[in-house]
Amino acid sequence: MTKWARKNPPLHLLSCHGKPSRGGQPVAMENMRAVYALAQKYNIKVMMDATRCVENACFIKHREPGYRDKSIHEIVLETFSYADGGATMSGKKMALSTSVDFSP
């Protein structure tokens, strides 16, 4: 990271679209927190790719300790607290469709 950070990258794009409902892995809240802390250390802006942020929040709710009693809204808000802004979002992804059932 140090050599890369010295080149002054304009931003880091944090992407939560690993397609967890189709076999990929969701992005853990702890990892988002760590990426943001490291980027702040090197004064790099973090932008969020919000494509599957709701789907990712559902997996966090069901898999990560301490999140079961939080609402999806609260988890999404925390997710975006680890970014300096939103950069991209695809309206064709599952966050805006009814093709996946996240009920327990």
pLDDT band at 12 (very low <50, low <70, confident <90, very high): low
Residue 23 phi, psi dihedral angles, 5° rounding? 100, -10
CA dihedral 85, 74, 63, 12 (to 10 degrees): 10
| Residue-level pLDDT at 11 | 65
Instruction: Indicate the pTM of the whole model.
Output: 0.72
Query: Domain ranges in the chain?
Result: 2-88
Q: How many CB atoms lie within 10 A of CB 88?
A: 12
- Scan for tokens 């944090």, then name that residue: 14
- How far, in Å, CA of 4 to CA of 2, rounded? 5
Instruction: Specify the pLDDT at position 99.
Output: 46
Which ranges in the chain belong to alpha helices (H)? 2-6, 29-41, 53-63, 72-81
Bridge partners (DSSP) of residue 88 are 49
Higher pLDDT: 48 or 10? It is 48
**Model confidence over 63-73: pLDDT tens digits?**
899 999 999 99
**pLDDT band for position 101 (cuts 50, 70, 90):** very low
Asked whether the predicted pLDDT for residue 6 surpasses 50, the reply is yes
